[in-house]
Amino acid sequence: MIDKRKRPDIDEYFLKIVSVVAERSTCRRHHMGAIAVRDKRILATGFNGAPAGAKDCLELGCLRDEQNIPSGIRQETCRAIHAEQNVIIQAGLHGISLEGSTVYCTHTPCVLCAKMMVNAKIARSVSFGSYDDNTFIELFREAGIEVDIKERPPSVITYLD
């Protein structure tokens, strides 16, 4: 009997993992996750949410919703740290360089996260969703960061019993 299930390619594999990371988000608007990978090894993970130990939007409500702020602008009016910021912070806390790595994220980055990714010397950005801020594109082009926007991977996990 031949198994007809398709083995996911490496990008789909890591995009599925980042989708699970995003489930830890404490944001009421978007569940975002990010992972940094080099040589097919996960270096760090991050999701969007309040700073460690601080009350989050699940408990306090969303500041952006309360002030009717649309997505993609005024990121400073938010309790959450973005997933890409958290992946960079986590790598730094554990002494891991992200130079030359690929960051897989559920969404394309805002310009603030893009600037941090440039300075962290990320080589490639892969996502399946689009954030409401496309100003990262020109910055990544100037910095030589490869951008891949893929189809959302299937949420079904396939395995043999």
Active site residues: 84
Q: Residue 75 has which token pair?
A: 């990121």
Q: Hey, which bits of the chain come out as E strands?
A: 33-38, 41-47, 102-107, 124-129, 146-149
Pairwise CA distance, residues 35 & 106, whole Å: 10
Nearest Cα to 37, choosing from 119, 124, 148, 112? 124
